[in-house]
Structure 1
Amino acid sequence: MSDTPFGFGLPPEEPEDGDEGKKKDPTGGGQGSGGPANPFGFGPGAGGDNPFAAMFGSMNPNDLGAAFQQLGQMLSYEGGPVNWDMAKQIARQTVSQGTTDGSKDASVGPAERTSVDEALRLADLWLDGVTSMPSGSVTTVAWSRAEWVEASLPAWQQLVDPVAERVGLAMGDVLPEEMQAMAGPLIGMMRSMGGAMFGQQIGQAVGVLAGEVVGSTDIGLPLAPAGKAALLPLNVERFGKDLSVPQDEVRLYLALREAAHQRLFAHVPWLRSHLFGAVEAYARGIKVDTSKLEDVVGQFDPSQPEQLQDALQQGMFQPEDTPEQKASLARLETALALVEGWVDAVVHEAAKSRLTSADALRETMRRRRASGGPAEQTFATLIGLQLRPRRLRDASRLWASLTDARGVDGRDGLWEHPDMLPTAQDLDDPDGFVHHEQLDFSELDKMLGEAAEGGTRKPSAEDRGEDGAGDDGPRTDGKDDDGR
């Protein structure tokens, strides 16, 4: 839980100097107010017979109006499964507080914008020689963390809403049918609070992630508007801080990755919907832990909505152990691995002869993508899914082998249709896939060549169906084989 009075970013009251025996209450509810800690300052056990005395006694009066305003927003929300206005507000607040190492967000200056623009344009030039896909960047931008939050929220909405919707539906399903009509107002209140709580948790995760990402495609999904190649100068600097690599090389390597992602998503028109569709298909197979939700509904106290927040933070989503759900997860993980593996392979090919630290930067990024950060763990808890390419190294090896066997055009041609891409089984045996593809394409080339030749060559006697065509027997017209 958040260490704030309402769990929404309001600072708890600090004890004044000299107040012995008063400790800072991590929940902000006021330990010395006559009952157990209560982040809302009222309800059972807070302040004895006068709950409002505890509320006013433990909260800074300057925060009281804002706290009630946010409570009103929670109860009055009537939108979708996630209160995205609240998510945006919390994300912006989280960004403004800075990262754990003390790094604070700041506006991007002209010099930083120029450096990012030059790096992304140079990266596109380098990629021209290692992929058949042309540039996918219409514009280049240098974002602050707050600007990344604003730009990426629509994509997060598309990812999270399907799962959050299941929670909203489950809240009505856990009660017996004869009680649902009577409990209608309660269920409606819980759904409103659920939307707000989801908004808070997503907002906090997005805000933390804004302090970690270096571009718009870090998680393997396009989070920015199409055609916008973006880097976050502050986070690029933070990424390379302890690597003993020149900052220019770090920026160029990360620009290569961003530009490569942009090419792939721009020139494989079905890829974005394929990835987001795979996430949605996986979400449809997630079931809500109804036993946990039943406990929340049965003990729900409108004055203590933090109960619902606790349930969300602990995670109440469990993937169904069915063949369909396993197949859905395999498709998603394979798709993410293929995207990241292709980017890894083409970026390494472009960088290895130009950047002295290319190998070190590649390994650093691989480990970063494999382990994920705290924000990614938060999303895993909330939506039951880790957006990480578990088989990145296998996919990268496969794409490199395809490049050696078929060249750049042959490798990139596999992106023309999803059915042509390698499967999870192909990642187990990349050499077998490459060899099989070579045979298939050799046969295809032969067929196309014969078809082309058939359209231009003069038809033979056999083609015309004349007698004796193709007969190796002796001639019967008294002439030799040369017609003499």
Structure 2
Amino acid sequence: MSDFPFGFGPPDPDRRGEGEPNDKQQGGADAFNQLGQMLTQLGQMLSQAGSSAGPVNYDLAKQIALQQLGNEGGKRIGFGSQDESGDTAVRDAAHLAELWLDTATILPAGATTSVAWTARDWVEKTLPTWQRLCDPVATRVSSAWTDALPDEAKQAAGPLLSMVGQMGGMMFGSQLGNALAQLGSEVLTSTDIGLPLGPAATSALLPANIEKFTEGLERPSSEVLVFIAAREAAHQRLFAHVPWLRQRLLDTVEEFAHGISVDTSAIEDIATKIDPSNPASIEEAMSSGLLEPRQTEEQQAALTRLETLLALVEGWVDVVVADAVGERLPGADALRETLRRRRATGGPAEQTFATLVGLELRPRRLRAASSLWKLVGDRHGVEKRDELWSHPDFVPTAADLDDPLEFAERLGHAGEMDDMDPIAEIKRAEERERTDGASEATDPDKAESDDGDDQDNRGNDERK
């Protein structure tokens, strides 16, 4: 397959005939000829790529991804069993992993189905979630470009703006398709990047990719499969039984996207790099700086929250799986470290997020999160550790990852933690707020005199 995305092609060096006028003779007519050529090619590209409503052409993304994966993307491996699809091996590994996880966490099993996916299956099954992740960013970038145009340019462009929007959707679709192809050939499970990309309650492993991952590890493939199945099952438990988590992750991406702004000077620079007769040059110029917007303080805050939340998810899974399989699989420690290094060297997750969302996962945060969850579990027990997921206000913050020991100490001793009911604490806090509000409304003088005591009480409550 060529290096050009679907619908694009290299410029034709012989497109000018011998009888065509030189540059001076062409003058203004050349601009119209080039514009006509560009519009003709655009029409051909749009008709070839199919129609797709929205800021991203997901039909094109899927087509590019599946074409790049080719037949290898549909390959199935049975891990030495008689089942060529690998389903039996995956189900057996998932069943064993679930039994072991029952002893390491209070969260029950979250998956009702365990399946083996090919790389092509992964692309098709996860595309709806990628749409939720990419739409906010693509929508904002597209509108930012339109907003950056001068009014006279908007009026002159007229109906061409809709065609530009379609082409922008194709460019995003092309980028997404290439990223999905890369990810589909490398990911090991449906949650390999820390997000619930696949259908709910479905534990999915990619046997062909796991087989490639196993090469050179000097560990039995069946052992690696069980370890990977345990990680997938732990992710599924968390996303199934922490109902606010999935939406919080997606909402944070939208918060980041809302603040995207495009540098108008960058637009002018990109415009100088575009050859109207060569659509491939348009994609190359756009991809060189389009998804590198200036970050505001609000965006940086949203990125920090997203990075922290993803690190907490991965750190919790890391600790829970280590507790569940550590004494049962001889190579568990080595596999755990291998997966950590896989992230640290800039794996598919970091690259894809950096390209599509502008987010780079920081491996340092993952290790800090693992240390924090391990410390909390050792000091306060598995039950209290997992209860911290019961409400978003209870989970550690970025500052807590900087000092896990202080966070563990702040939670109190194990005896004090036994009396903590997270839901009851939320209700008591809400009740205090209502009571304080009513008291201040009826007796302003009393409210003023009690203000210091209330602050002290609230400080004590927070320390508890």
Q: Same fold (TM over 0.5)?
A: yes
Contact 1:286–1:384 (Cα < 8 Å) also in 2: no
Residue 185 (structure 1) aligned to one of 135, 141, 159: 159
Q: Give 1:279 deviation, angstroms.
A: 1.6
State the match for 1:393 in structure 2: 367
**Partner Cα separation in structure 1 for residue 17 and residue 395 of structure 2:** 64
Q: In the alignment, does 2:258 pair up with 1:270?
A: no
Contact 2:262–2:294 (Cα < 8 Å) also in 1: no
State the match for 1:142 in structure 2: 116
**Partner Cα separation in structure 2 for residue 352 and residue 257 of structure 1:** 13
**Partner Cα separation in structure 2 for residue 49 and residue 150 of structure 1:** 50
- The TM-score with structure 2 as length reference comes to 0.79
Q: Which has the higher helix share?
A: 2
Contact 1:205–1:378 (Cα < 8 Å) also in 2: yes
Instruction: Name the aligned partner's letter for residue 178 of structure 1.
Output: E
Residue 6 (structure 2) aligned to one of 1, 5, 8: 8
> 1:25-67 CA deviation, whole Å, 9 max, x = no partner?
xx6445xx44xxxxxxx5xxx556579xxxxxxxxxxxxxxx9
For the structure 1 residues 377 and 243, does the alpha-carbon distance in structure 2 shift closer, same or farther, using more than 3 Å as the test?
same
For the structure 1 residues 47 and 289, does the alpha-carbon distance in structure 2 shift closer, same or farther, using more than 3 Å as the test?
farther
Instruction: Name the aligned partner's letter for residue 3 of structure 2.
Output: D
Contact 1:113–1:142 (Cα < 8 Å) also in 2: yes
**Partner Cα separation in structure 1 for residue 273 and residue 154 of structure 2:** 16
Q: Count residues in correspondence.
A: 398
SS of the aligned residue for 1:229 comes to: strand
Contact 2:134–2:357 (Cα < 8 Å) also in 1: yes
**Partner Cα separation in structure 1 for residue 242 and residue 352 of structure 2:** 30
Contact 2:196–2:246 (Cα < 8 Å) also in 1: yes
For the structure 1 residues 47 and 292, does the alpha-carbon distance in structure 2 shift closer, same or farther, using more than 3 Å as the test?
farther
For the structure 1 residues 387 and 428, does the alpha-carbon distance in structure 2 shift closer, same or farther, using more than 3 Å as the test?
closer
Bigger relative contact order, structure 1 or 2, given CA contacts below 8 A and separation 6+? 2
**Partner Cα separation in structure 2 for residue 75 and residue 359 of structure 1:** 47
**Partner Cα separation in structure 1 for residue 337 and residue 53 of structure 2:** 44
Contact 2:61–2:174 (Cα < 8 Å) also in 1: yes
Q: Give 1:85 deviation, angstroms.
A: 0.7
Instruction: Name the aligned partner's letter for residue 188 of structure 2.
Output: V
Instruction: Name the aligned partner's letter for residue 106 of structure 1.
Output: K
Contact 2:94–2:114 (Cα < 8 Å) also in 1: yes
Contact 1:333–1:390 (Cα < 8 Å) also in 2: no
For the structure 1 residues 47 and 129, does the alpha-carbon distance in structure 2 shift closer, same or farther, using more than 3 Å as the test?
farther
SS of the aligned residue for 1:317 comes to: coil
State the match for 1:200 in structure 2: 174
State the match for 1:81 in structure 2: 55
Q: What does 1:336-347 align with in structure 2 at a 5 Å threshold?
A: 336-347=310-321
Contact 1:315–1:381 (Cα < 8 Å) also in 2: no
State the match for 1:217 in structure 2: 191
Q: What does 1:68-467 align with in structure 2 at a 5 Å threshold?
A: 71-73=45-47, 77=51, 79-96=53-70, 98=72, 105-107=74-76, 110-111=83-84, 112-297=86-271, 302-318=276-292, 320-373=294-347, 376-387=350-361, 390-438=364-412, 442=416, 445=419
**Partner Cα separation in structure 1 for residue 406 and residue 135 of structure 2:** 40
**Partner Cα separation in structure 2 for residue 78 and residue 298 of structure 1:** 29
Which segments of 5 or more consecutive residues in structure 2 lack a partner in the other structure? 22-40, 423-464
SS of the aligned residue for 2:135 comes to: helix
For the structure 1 residues 294 and 319, does the alpha-carbon distance in structure 2 shift closer, same or farther, using more than 3 Å as the test?
closer
Could you say what the CA RMSD is over the residues aligned between the two structures, in angstroms?
2.9
State the match for 1:37 in structure 2: none
For the structure 1 residues 210 and 247, does the alpha-carbon distance in structure 2 shift closer, same or farther, using more than 3 Å as the test?
same
**Partner Cα separation in structure 2 for residue 377 and residue 446 of structure 1:** 41
State the match for 1:18 in structure 2: none
> 1:312-357 CA deviation, whole Å, 9 max, x = no partner?
3323234544432222111111101100000000001111101111
Q: Give 1:443 deviation, angstroms.
A: 7.5
Instruction: Name the aligned partner's letter for residue 3 of structure 1.
Output: D
Moved more, 213-222 or 385-394: 385-394
Structure possessing the higher radius of gyration over alpha carbons: 1
SS of the aligned residue for 1:391 comes to: helix
**Partner Cα separation in structure 1 for residue 277 and residue 203 of structure 2:** 46
Which segments of 5 or more consecutive residues in structure 1 lack a partner in the other structure? 11-26, 35-41, 52-66, 99-103, 449-484
Q: Give 1:70 deviation, angstroms.
A: 5.5
For the structure 1 residues 446 and 309, does the alpha-carbon distance in structure 2 shift closer, same or farther, using more than 3 Å as the test?
closer
> What is the identity percentage for the equivalent residue pairs of Structure 1 and Structure 2?
52
> 1:397-429 CA deviation, whole Å, 9 max, x = no partner?
110111111111100000000100111111111
Contact 1:2–1:8 (Cα < 8 Å) also in 2: no
**Partner Cα separation in structure 1 for residue 380 and residue 389 of structure 2:** 14
SS of the aligned residue for 1:168 comes to: helix
- The TM-score with structure 1 as length reference comes to 0.76
Contact 2:111–2:233 (Cα < 8 Å) also in 1: yes
SS of the aligned residue for 2:409 comes to: helix
Q: Give 1:181 deviation, angstroms.
A: 1.6
Contact 2:316–2:369 (Cα < 8 Å) also in 1: yes
State the match for 2:25 in structure 1: none
